[in-house]
A and B are shown apart, each in its own frame.
Chain A
């Protein structure tokens, strides 16, 4: 059975979703790039932050 790490799965989803949302939301290419990068960082960074916040109660 194929397998994938949680981080890889999260990165794939964040990349696809942020690229799509950037092309929906911004008209110019430079704005799209900035928006996509921001969204990607928020997706991945937010998940890592929440993971660390939940870490103490996971043990």
Chain B
């Protein structure tokens, strides 16, 4: 028996590579947008709130937002994780907050923003799987 999933009865046509790719890109750029395109409204809302809350906390706590001038492998890893936050990444960089990782709060902020990016990438892959029809 099919279990009910998200609210909303009309589902977008899916099952093609193109839908999956479009949902992935949209979901990566704007958290939740990929699922919104596929009319998975509840998922879109939950992913948007989770990602934005973590990213906002990261910026508020003066976490380090890594850029492409990485010095070592860990900084590259941080850069790619931060990049996963999509449009939130340039938004956070444009605020020009001074990172302060000498205190625990700043360190939490760094991890929060990276976690937001990683979760958003996971959501984008989920949107891709739904768009291609591999997942309901």
Contact = CB atoms under 8 A, between A and B. Distances in A.
Interface residues of A, number: 18
Given A2-B60, A13-B115, A28 B43 contact: no
A15 B5 CA distance: 21
Interface in A1-37: 1-4, 6, 9, 12-13, 16-17, 19-20, 23-24, 27-29, 31
Interface residues of B, number: 31
Interface of B: 3-5, 42-43, 46-47, 49-51, 53-54, 57, 60-62, 100, 103-106, 108, 111-112, 115-116, 119, 122-123, 126, 136
Interface of A: 1-4, 6, 9, 12-13, 16-17, 19-20, 23-24, 27-29, 31
